[in-house]
Amino acid sequence: MKQMAKDFATKAHQGQTRKNSNVPYITHPVRVAERLEKEGFSDELICAAYLHDVVEDTPYEIEEIEKTFGSRVAKFVAAHTEDKSKSWDERKLHTINTVKHAENDVKYLIVADKLDNLLGLEHDLKTQRETVWNKFNAGIEKQRWYNQSIAENMYVGVDPKDVPEYFAEYADTVARVFG
């Protein structure tokens, strides 16, 4: 099922590239999935990692994900999908609240995604400097607020024995990028 999810996402994101580069978009969901697989999470969560941006950034709908991969995978993808009809602030506040109140698997997916995005941003800042911020819908102050809020809320309700290693990496990366 994981290979099927990877293939589905690869097809869905065909021709898309990462922000600030010509790198194929699929490299991002692949890294998120690999991070979750390394932590030993369920096949459903790994599939959701491959698929996490499909509904948000391609013509595919959540019903297609559910039909092909089942309700649990679709639930994870849906919990992570932003409603693009809302403002940037509304979407980000919703994600922060989701991280604060969601079940652990949803938190694991969102934080793995945000960590990969932030590591990419950190790299871009080193090579492209401050011009990187021109490609974002929100500037550095709002990005700082958003990422610090995710870091502050990701541990809520998670038993310390269930905290994956990359949560600390995310907090450290937020501190490096935003001071």
For each of the domains in the chain, give its residue range(s) and CATH number, in order of start. 2-178 (1.10.3210.10)
pLDDT of residue 139: 77
Give yes or no: 57 in active site: yes
pLDDT of residue 134: 61
pLDDT tier for residue 135 given thresholds of 50, 70 and 90: low
pLDDT in tens, 5-51: 999 999 989 887 877 678 788 999 999 999 999 999 999 999 999 99
| Inter-residue contact 142 to 168 (CB < 8 Å) | no
| Inter-residue contact 81 to 54 (CB < 8 Å) | no
pLDDT of residue 136: 63
Catalytic residue among 43, 56, 122, 152: 56
Taking the C-alpha atoms of residue 56 and residue 54, their distance in angstroms, rounded to an integer, is 6
Rg over alpha carbons for the chain, rounded to the nearest Å, is: 16
DSSP one-letter code for 24 = B
pLDDT of residue 93: 95
Give yes or no: 82 in active site: no
Q: Which of 39, 52, 44, 38 is nearest to 9 (CA)?
A: 52
Whole-model pTM above 0.85? yes
Enumerate helices (H) and strands (E) in the chain, giving the number of each: 10, 0
Catalytic residue among 57, 64, 82, 169: 57
Task: Return the SS3 of 136.
Answer: coil
